[in-house]
Amino acid sequence: MDEVLFYNSVGDPAKKHSTSFGFVSSTRSTQQVGQYRQCYSANNGTVLTGINGENKIISACHSKALVHVYILGKESPEQTIPVPEELICLELCPHPNSTDAWLLVAGAVSGRIYVWELDSGLLLAVKESHYQSVSVIKYVKGYLVSGGADSRVVVWKVLDMMSDSHKPYAIYTDHTLPVTDLLVTTGLVNDLKVWSVSRDQTIRCHDLTSQTLVTTFIAQQPVSSITADPAYRSLYVGYEDGTIRMVNLFDAPSKTQIWEHVGGYGKVITLKDDPELRETFVSHQAEGNSITKLEISFDGSQLISGDSKGKVLVSDVATKQIVRTLKPLAGAVSTLKLFRIKSDSLKYAPTKSSVRGIPVLKRSLVDEPELQRHVVFKKFEKADKAPEFNLERFLDITKSEAKWFTNFTNVDSTVKKEKEVDTAEIDRLREANAALRQKYDELYETHSKLLMNNK
């Protein structure tokens, strides 16, 4: 098994983005799998539909109303699609019954949220979500959660977005400065929680069902990014001073000596200074450097972090030491996406039959007549599998067919010879027959002669 990381940055407009690359690298080895030219976006502005086969990289170009689409394995953009306005962040929603991408959701600089159906390119919804630009969007179980520079967190139900409803499911207005990152937990709908971080130095957790503020952590620095342990045992938050702080979500208070979830019921908890650096990663700490993206590995043992100077580090969570330094980027790191793959299973080269792009994203909102002409682009596939030999089943079939060749009755209808044929008798009869035939022929000849003579 291996883990590969896609990462890119906001790019370097001074060099016309000639040095703006997106890379795909292994986090467990030194292997670099691929690179993509002119792949730059604002923070959270790039998404991948997957990491194998015909999957795509979709990147909202930073400071431009354009989207670049790459097919994995090809360095240059396959498509450049104009969009209604400059997009800041992107998010993909998978189909409810599969892992294939279904919706492309984009947060724009105006605060609007755009929802495109990827199979058709139809613009299904445009919602006024924020008063300032949208900084991050996350999707989970039919809900879209967006955080904006207006310091609000807005939750939408995808089903409601497709209807004419303009009312979001919930709005959290607890932050006082721009929301920089979001983390939505997974699980049953009733258990979903939204963690939001902001430049106001708070990390807030809201319960999605009850729409209540569950916990607030107060950090020492403006918080720029967040990720969590896969089992939600701890949070990792990136500060604007370049440090990363680990926040344990379980604790055993000294008096009760019972493990308890930290926080809950609206508690506000101040994170203490950590002078001994037991819960702090300082690998990125430098003048004017801030953590822009964080990602955690499959087993929760490695933390991948990107900073505003384009440095991407893989750190060991236990020792807080750098394990690997990945190829640096031009500009602040804007996307980190980890994918779990089987070792050496990456198949990259697009073939003749590969679907190389996505439908053109429509710039006008879909209306009823257009929905009546709903056409989707699909590639129906069926995996071929070599037939398996199941001996038990094969023997059953053989027995079942064998009955048609078997006589189960007591009646034997085969013809059997009763006794040996007497060849001497046959010879005698043959001779007699020949003699008789000769006499007959003679008689016939005589008769013919007599008839002729009479004439």
Partner 1 sequence: MSVEWFPLSSVIPYLEKSKIKEIELTQLITVLARGSTIENASKVDLNHLCARVNTFLSSNDTESRWIGTKLVVVVCTHLEILSSEYTANYLGSLIRILGSKCYIKDEASAPVPAIKTLESCCDALEFIIGNIRGKQTLTRQTLTPKLPAIIGSLLENVTLIPDKTISLLYNLLANNSTTFRPFGSKFETALVSIINNQNFQKFDSALQHKILKSLALISFNLTKNSPSELWRTRFDHFVKELKSTIQIYTEFMSLEEDEDLWLQFNALPSIPADFQPTFSPLQVDLNESSVEVLKVVSRIEVLVNLLVEFLAVPTPQVKVPLNYLVMIGQLLVAINPTFTPIRRDIRDPTLRQTIAYSATLLNHIGLRLLDVLPKFFGGDLLPHLTSILSAVDTLVPVHRTDGKISLNEAGIVDKSELIFASFQTRINYLELVEGFSNTSVLNRSIETAIILLKPRLPDSLANGTEQKLKNVSISDLLADQQLFVTEPADYQKQLLRQFFKVLLTKCQLSLPKQTDILRMVILDAVNGAEVKELLYAALLFPNKEAHASVLPMVKQLLSNDDELMSVFLNPRLPLLPQKRAIEIQEPEEEPEVEDLKRPLVEEERSVKKVKIEDPVVEAEEEPEQPEEQEQPDSDHEEMIFKSVGTISIPEPTLNQQVEEVKPEQSPEQPDEPESELESDFEIPEIDVDED
- Binding to partner 1 (CB under 8 A) within 62-121 occurs at 93, 95-98, 100, 102-103, 117, 119-120
- Asked if 384 is part of the footprint of partner 1 (rule: CB under 8 A), the reply reads yes
Q: Which stretch binds partner 1 (CB under 8 A): 45-53, 266-274, 407-415, 420-428?
A: 266-274
Taking CB under 8 A as the criterion, the residue among 31, 301, 325, 364 binding partner 1 is 301
- Asked if 378 is part of the footprint of partner 1 (rule: CB under 8 A), the reply reads yes
- Asked if 189 is part of the footprint of partner 1 (rule: CB under 8 A), the reply reads yes
The length of the chain, given as a count of residues: 455
Closest to partner 1 by CB, 375 vs 429, is 375
Minimal CA–CA distance to 122: which of 103, 135, 139, 141? 103
Q: Which stretch binds partner 1 (CB under 8 A): 55-63, 67-75, 250-258, 441-449?
A: 250-258
- Asked if 213 is part of the footprint of partner 1 (rule: CB under 8 A), the reply reads no
Q: Is 28 in contact with 304 (CB distance < 8 Å)?
A: no
d(CA 217, CA 175): 12
- Binding to partner 1 (CB under 8 A) within 340-369 occurs at 353, 355, 366
- Asked if 123 is part of the footprint of partner 1 (rule: CB under 8 A), the reply reads no
Q: How far apart are the first and last CA of the chain?
A: 114
- Asked if 447 is part of the footprint of partner 1 (rule: CB under 8 A), the reply reads no
Taking CB under 8 A as the criterion, the residue among 342, 373, 417, 455 binding partner 1 is 373
Taking CB under 8 A as the criterion, the residue among 31, 186, 270, 438 binding partner 1 is 270
- Asked if 233 is part of the footprint of partner 1 (rule: CB under 8 A), the reply reads yes
Question: In angstroms, what is the C-alpha Rg of the chain?
Answer: 39
- Asked if 416 is part of the footprint of partner 1 (rule: CB under 8 A), the reply reads no
Please, is 172 exposed, middle or buried when counting C-beta atoms within 10 Å of its C-beta (0-12, 13-18, 19+)?
A: buried
d(CA 338, CA 4): 6
Six token digits for residue 395 = 């023997």
Measure the CA dihedral 398/401/407/409, to 10°. 110
Minimal CA–CA distance to 334: which of 351, 356, 310, 300? 310
Say which DSSP state 365 is in: B
Taking CB under 8 A as the criterion, the residue among 259, 367, 416, 455 binding partner 1 is 259
Contact string (CB under 8 A) for partner 1, positions 137-156, x = contact: ----xxx-------------
CB contact set of 201 (below 8 Å; sequence gap of 6+): 218, 219, 220, 221, 222, 223
Closest to partner 1 by CB, 385 vs 419, is 385
Closest to partner 1 by CB, 351 vs 410, is 351
Three-state DSSP at 369 gives helix
- Asked if 318 is part of the footprint of partner 1 (rule: CB under 8 A), the reply reads yes
Q: Is 107 in contact with 127 (CB distance < 8 Å)?
A: no
Tell me how far, at minimum, the Cβ of 10 lies from partner 1, in Å. Answer: 31
- Asked if 246 is part of the footprint of partner 1 (rule: CB under 8 A), the reply reads yes
Closest to partner 1 by CB, 24 vs 93, is 93
Minimal CA–CA distance to 133: which of 161, 115, 112? 112
DSSP 332-354: SEEEEEEEEE-TT-------TTS
Closest to partner 1 by CB, 4 vs 249, is 249
- Asked if 251 is part of the footprint of partner 1 (rule: CB under 8 A), the reply reads yes
- Asked if 257 is part of the footprint of partner 1 (rule: CB under 8 A), the reply reads yes
Say which DSSP state 431 is in: H
Tell me how far, at minimum, the Cβ of 217 lies from partner 1, in Å. Answer: 9
Please, is 140 exposed, middle or buried when counting C-beta atoms within 10 Å of its C-beta (0-12, 13-18, 19+)?
A: middle
Tell me how far, at minimum, the Cβ of 446 lies from partner 1, in Å. Answer: 49
- Asked if 264 is part of the footprint of partner 1 (rule: CB under 8 A), the reply reads yes
- Asked if 276 is part of the footprint of partner 1 (rule: CB under 8 A), the reply reads yes
- Asked if 300 is part of the footprint of partner 1 (rule: CB under 8 A), the reply reads yes
Q: Which stretch binds partner 1 (CB under 8 A): 282-290, 343-351, 375-383, 414-422?
A: 375-383
Q: How far is CA 220 from the centre of its chain?
A: 36
Closest to partner 1 by CB, 251 vs 431, is 251
Say which DSSP state 40 is in: B
Measure the CA dihedral 150/151/153/154, to 10°. -20
147 CB neighbour count, 10 Å cutoff: 30
Tell me how far, at minimum, the Cβ of 240 lies from partner 1, in Å. Answer: 21
Tell me how far, at minimum, the Cβ of 382 lies from partner 1, in Å. Answer: 5
Taking CB under 8 A as the criterion, the residue among 30, 164, 258, 413 binding partner 1 is 258
d(CA 68, CA 46): 9
Size of the site for partner 1 (CB under 8 A): 92
